[in-house]
Homo-oligomer: A and B are copies of this chain.
Amino acid sequence: MPAQVSVIGIGGVPEVQPGNDLAALVTEAATRQRTPLASGDVLVVSQKVVSKAEGRVVDLKSVTPSPFALEVARTWQKDPRHVEVVLREARRIVRMDQGIIITETHHGFRCANSGVDASNVPGEETVTLLPVHPDASAEAIRRGVRQLAAVDVAVIVSDTFGRPWREGAVNVAIGVAGLEPLVDYRGRLDTCGKRLQTTVIAVADELAAAAELVTGKLEKVPAALVRGYTFRPSPGGVGPLLREPSRDLFR
């Protein structure tokens, strides 16, 4: 019998406030809905609630845009305070065209608007920023779950990123704890006995994408667990997923 994986949304999590213990909120919500976390599960938690718990929330009313932010905003009919926050979260502009700002964040993620986002945040003028250290966020949740429920889960913090070439965004991993984010098949034998040359699979991104199928955008389902997937344990870390500049043909 081939592998079978279940992806289970975790709902009933109250609106997350700065300082909340996310590990506890998610562990309790999973137990309440009678799908308690179990060792070997991959717990995928959306960036939005991680950022809220860590206070990575900005009221645009408090932001003074720079001259450059004002100019960019004027050119593309954007909110200059929003542009200012996007620029502050970036270390480099990848592209700025057609009203789209794609940056490289301080973490090294390449994404629209440095991951700054207003959806699913209370307050008309409030945005979230990505967590400062998403791997540490993932590790803290992993440790918290272990302490609370005595189970050993891997944790992925996920966000919704657009991609070049293809329409539609997909969820990807921005923080990883407890699993190897890449599976490297190079040198292994395929079903025909030939040695695989190049295949490296970003399983952490595939797990994040699978989780989005049950979390969606309109329901209050900020987390999902993936059960039955055999991952390779590792301290984790999202670093291996981020292409080195020297290997990046789309700088």
Q: How far does the alpha carbon of A203 sit from the alpha carbon of B163 in the complex, in Å?
A: 14
Given A213-B207, A221-B3, answer yes or no on A190-B120 (Cβ-Cβ < 8 Å). yes
How many identical chains are in the complex? 2
- Residues in B with CB closer than 8 Å to A151 are none
| Chain B residue, CB-CB nearest to A112 | B198
Contact of A9 among B2, B197, B221 (CB under 8 A): B2
Q: How far does the alpha carbon of A181 sit from the alpha carbon of B120 in the complex, in Å?
A: 23
Q: How far does the alpha carbon of A118 sit from the alpha carbon of B4 in the complex, in Å?
A: 27
A194 located at the interface, meaning its Cβ lies under 8 Å from any Cβ of chain B in the complex: yes
Contact A201 B169 (CB under 8 A): yes
Interface residues of A in 164-205 (CB under 8 A from B): 164-172, 181-182, 185, 188-192, 194, 196-197, 199-203, 205
Chain A interface residue count, CB cutoff 8 Å, equals 77
Q: How far does the alpha carbon of A250 sit from the alpha carbon of B95 in the complex, in Å?
A: 9
Given A119-B196, A213-B5, answer yes or no on A249-B95 (Cβ-Cβ < 8 Å). yes
- Residues in B with CB closer than 8 Å to A172 are 166
A160 located at the interface, meaning its Cβ lies under 8 Å from any Cβ of chain B in the complex: yes
Q: How far does the alpha carbon of A171 sit from the alpha carbon of B209 in the complex, in Å?
A: 10
Contact of A206 among B119, B124, B182, B213 (CB under 8 A): B213
Contact B191 A120 (CB under 8 A): yes
Contact B194 A167 (CB under 8 A): no
Q: How far does the alpha carbon of A97 sit from the alpha carbon of B209 in the complex, in Å?
A: 29
A121 located at the interface, meaning its Cβ lies under 8 Å from any Cβ of chain B in the complex: yes
| Chain B residue, CB-CB nearest to A10 | B2
Which of A18-26, A60-68, A135-143, A236-244 faces chain B? A236-244
Which of A163, A172, A241 has the largest number of chain B CB atoms within 10 A?
Answer: A163
A11 located at the interface, meaning its Cβ lies under 8 Å from any Cβ of chain B in the complex: yes
